[in-house]
Amino acid sequence: MNMSSLRITKTDALLGIKTTPAKVNISQPKADLEIHQKHAKVIIDTEPVQIRIDQSQCFSEAGLKNNRAFMEDNVQNARQEWLRGIGETVSEGNMMADIKGKGNAFAEIAFNNAVKKYDFNVKFIPTSRPVIDFVGGNLDIQVDEGYVDIQARQNRPIYDVEVGGIEFYMLQNPELKIEYVGNELDVKL
């Protein structure tokens, strides 16, 4: 018996897929800035210190006086001497008027006028200190703080989009092949 057969060959379909990815580019421009500024200022005003030294009392005690002080001292000394002279004259007049007094009033007055009495003393000059005053030395600080005014304007982001895609195509078409293998064809219906 001869055998005949059918051979069936099948080829599957192959699909190709090509994808293009989507791209999104985002850029952000910097903000626009407006800056207004007033600089700070520091104003320093100083008055230098002055030292005043008054030595007029020290010089006066040493005999170095100005004309006014010299005249005032001489007037004072003259007045004291004048009062002392009046006092001595009154005392001498009282001694001569006293008849009952003991002793010779004229001899005593003559002796007192003949012998002068001096008072000697050691003195270091000047005895007072100079007067020292400090004047001025003020410090005035003024601050103008200034300011900074910043105005910022934001910019919108910029989007650049490239749309992606999917492409389908046939790499291989499907096929069904039926072959008769053998010599005889026996077909019965």
Summarize pLDDT for 51-73 with one digit per residue, the tens.
999 988 888 877 788 888 888 88
Q: What does the pLDDT read at residue 42?
A: 92
| Banded pLDDT at 7 (limits 50, 70, 90) | confident
DSSP 8-state symbol, 143: E
Q: Flag whether pLDDT at 79 surpasses 90.
A: yes
CA–CA gap between residue 79 and residue 4 (Å, rounded): 180
CA–CA gap between residue 57 and residue 125 (Å, rounded): 11
Tokens encoding 111: 């002796």
CA–CA gap between residue 79 and residue 73 (Å, rounded): 10
CA–CA gap between residue 149 and residue 38 (Å, rounded): 9
Q: What does the pLDDT read at residue 187?
A: 60
Task: Specify the length of the chain in residues.
Answer: 189
Could you read off the pLDDT of 29-42 as tens digits, one per residue? 998 889 999 999 99
Contacts (Cβ under 8 Å, ≥6 apart) of 52: 132, 133, 134, 135
Tokens encoding 105: 């009033």
Burial (CB < 10 A; 0-12, 13-18, 19+), residue 17, is exposed
CA–CA gap between residue 36 and residue 30 (Å, rounded): 19
